[in-house]
Structures are given as C-alpha cells and as structure tokens.
Structure 1
Amino acid sequence: MEINFSSTTAKFHSLPITKSITRDRNPCSLSIAPRNKSAQLSFSSTCFGTKIKKSNILFKVLSSEEDHVQVVEGSGVDEIYDTLVKRIMPPASVSLNPNYKFFVGLAGPPGAGKSTIAHEVAKRINKLWPEKASSFDSQVQPPDVAIVIPMDGFHLYRSELDALKNPEEAHARRGAPWTFNPTRLLTCLKNLRVHGSVYAPSFDHGVGDPVEDDIFVNLQHKIIIVEGNYLLLEDGVWKEVSSLFDEKWYWFY
C-alpha cells in the first residue's frame, strides 16, 4: 500500500530506526520498523505507570514508514486524529477489492487512552469514507470501512485463571501479559488476513470476562485497528502478533 503522508497542522519528524527516542526522562526506550524489517518497536517494562512531565505537546504517536520512524506531534487532540486518519485512509479502489486488509497495531501504557484514539480514528475514517468510495451509488450509504478490535477480548477467562498454578496471584495481577491469550489473538488475526472476515471477542468489564463473537469484522472492513498494551512486545507469541501489523503505533504522553 502506498501511503501519502502530509499535514498542514500536526508536525512530524523522521528518525532512523536505529535510534531510540526518549522524552522528559521517560524510561520507555523504543525503535520502530515497517512490517518487512527485522527491527521491532520495543519498550521497557518500567515505562508502565510512569509519570511523564507535560509540555505544550499533547502527546506523540510513532508509526512506521519505510525505514524511518514518524513522530507525530500536535498541540491538540484533533490535530493528531486528523493526521492519523490521513495516514491510513484507504484509496477508493479498495471498495472493489475483497482481499484488501490493512492492520494497525496501537500500543501504549495502561490507561493512556488507546481505545479512545482507536475508536475516534475509525469513526473519522468511516465518516469521510463516503466521499472516497465513489464506486457506490450516491444515494446509498457505503458500509463502514474501519473497525477496532480490542486486545481486552483476549483476556484469559476467570475460570482459566483459577486453573493456573497460583490462581490468587493470577487474579491479583490480571492485566499482566501472561494473563492474556496471545495465541488466540494471533489465530484471529491470521484467519482475518486469510478469509477476510472473522468474529472477534470483546470484554465485559462488569462480568470480568470476554464476550465471544461480539465483534464481526466483515469483508467491507479494510482498516483494522487493534489496540492493547502488549501488541508490540517481542516475547514469544506476542512477537508473532506484532509481525502481522502493516503499521505499528506507540503513543505516550
């Protein structure tokens, strides 16, 4: 996919993938690469929960393009949203291509607003899509082209935590990488890539368990934004999950 990236509002900077980026003494060190490069985005486990000094920049989003890091900066959240939408808005021709799927992996610290970003970007893409999808009858509203899959749906069930060696610790530390089922997430994304549609689970925070088959990704969905804390980890199955993304975003504030 060719991506034309330009913005008249939000700023962006290109950095070689061999460099790391730090901000305001933030212990998160990271590098990022496109899907076909061996280098992967990584960050230290100590970055979670760290207080980061605020500045005039609201936050940054890093994403891969060719062999450079794109650091997107904005003084307001709308600038960031608009820039990300321009980055991944699909061309009109994809409406006629049933096999087109573009995967975005959005990671970041817990509670940082990943879900808000993912859903807002998807919402704006879907709102603008009718203007792009000229192949549709002007009197017919084209189907949504972007959708979000949350990593939360791939939590281990409470019953699965009960079956672990130390269930008390498992429940107390629920949300750690080992309390998820990355193999199931990997299978879901691979099936989506091959078949073009899939049912994915969501998560019921009231009940505290995943909800099976709650999200239907169909052939008309071309932009798939997967959001979660650990999508870009380099350990075990998580590394395989990360390799499936066409673009990898990590944001910090």
Structure 2
Amino acid sequence: MTPETGLEALVAAAVALVGQRRRVVLGIAGAPGSGKSTLAEALVDGVAAREGDGWVAHVPMDGFHLADAQLDRLGARSRKGVPDTFDADGYAHLLRRITAEPDSWVYAPGFERTLEQPLAASMVVPPSARLVVTEGNYLLLAEARWERARAELAEVWFVTGDEELRRSRLVERHVAFGKEPEAAEAWVARNDDPNATVVAAAASRADRIVVNGPEGWSFGAVR
C-alpha cells in the first residue's frame, strides 16, 4: 500500500488522534494569514469524506472576538485581533463543554467577516462528532487564560510557510473585506505583523508542525 502523503497524511493523523475516545478536539495554531482556516476546512472535508459528515465538526476561535461595542468600551478597537481582544475564558469554557458533554448539541459563536463581528450560536457541534477541529492564533500562548483553552485540546498543530506570501494574503484579505489597499497595508504593519511575532515565539510548544508549502500540506519537524 502506498503511504499516505500530503493532506491525506494529515487527515489520517487527525482520525488516529481520536482512537477509542468518545471525542477529542484538535487545535490548529499559526500566525495571521498562515492558512489555519484553510487547513482546518480541508481537514474537516477530508475527515468527513473518510468517516462521514457527522463524525467531524469545526469550531473556529474567531467567534470569541470581542464585539466592537466592547472594544469601544475598552478603547481597543484599533488593536482588534491582539490576544486581549478575545474572550479567551469563554473560548476555554466552550472547549470544556465540547469535551465534557459529547452527547449534547453544543452551540458556538461564529464570526462574520464582512461585518467583522461575532455571531452568537451560529455553529453547532452535534452529538455524532468524534473529532472537533478548532483554529486560532493564540492556542499556544504561555498565558493562563490561553493555557486553560490549550488544556482542552488533544494536540495543537502549528502552521508555517512562506512569510512574504503569508503577509500578502493578509493584505488581500483586508482589501477583500472593505479596506483600501493603503489602509490594509497599515493594518497589517500595525496589528498583524506584531501578532505574528508573538505567535511564532510560541511555535515550539506545538505537538506537530504543518508546512503550508507550494506543493501542498505536509508535516514538518517540531522546532
């Protein structure tokens, strides 16, 4: 039999992570624009094709962005996306419910990119789900509130790749969702680049490294 490679290998590893357990949560971490969401969606699709649609669910961390009303209250809207502009405790609590209540329908907030606002209960984890994939920038941060979330994850995989491409994707994303090109460049320089530095510093805490390369996805060596 030909060994599984690329995305197939990642899907196989995600399925194997569940084993005989009722449910596990796999975390995907990485810098802004690294491809976390793309990988999470590819994994969910690949696992669903292999095990069935109800066997896997996807719950991004983005639903725990603080809404603009709270950012305004805190004077933090210009820093939107940095670690303290998320409800990390709420995220940890949700992950705990997902693992502790496998026979319940567990609702989760989503995030509307056009509005750039969280949406309550727009996602759900069904009782049939054995694997739940979540992704976010800060899953590996060495801060108590983020470590509470990390404690609920069976593994965390860190996505890495070409830095210039990652940054250009970020600028394109901001433009696609309404920013002028100059404003998008400024936002990346002021917010996303510093966040990327913080996130990269925690990469050594990952269980596995996933390389987002020109030939697709592959496992790399843990740093």
TM-score range relative to shorter protein: 0.5 to 0.7
Root-mean-square deviation over aligned CA pairs: 2.2
Q: Which has the higher helix share?
A: 2
* From 80, 105, 127, the counterpart of 1:174: 80
Aligned pairs for 1:10-25 within 5 A: 10=5
TM-score (normalizing by structure 1):
0.59
* 8 A Cα contact 2:35 2:159, kept in partner: no
> Deviations along 1:10-37, whole A, 9 cap, x unmatched?
4xxxxxxxxxxxxxxxxxxxxxxxxxxx
> Deviation above 4 Å: which 4+ runs of structure 1?
90-94
1:105 maps to which residue? 27
* 8 A Cα contact 2:25 2:134, kept in partner: yes
Shift of 1:93: 8.7
1:189 equivalenced with 2:92 (yes/no): no
Distance 1:86 1:93 in 2: 11
Query: Percent same amino acid at aligned positions?
Result: 29
| Residue range with higher mean Cα deviation, 187-196 or 104-113 | 187-196
* 8 A Cα contact 1:90 1:223, kept in partner: no
* 8 A Cα contact 1:105 1:232, kept in partner: no
Question: Which structure has the larger Rg?
Answer: 1
5+ residue gaps in structure 1? 1-5, 11-78, 131-142
Aligned pairs for 1:1-253 within 5 A: 8=3, 10=5, 79=6, 81-89=7-15, 100-130=22-52, 143-164=53-74, 167=75, 170-196=76-102, 197-253=105-161
Q: Residue 230 of structure 1: SS of its match in structure 2?
A: coil
5+ residue gaps in structure 2? 162-223
Shift of 1:8: 2.2
TM-score (normalizing by structure 2):
0.66
Shift of 1:90: 5.3
Shift of 1:232: 1.3
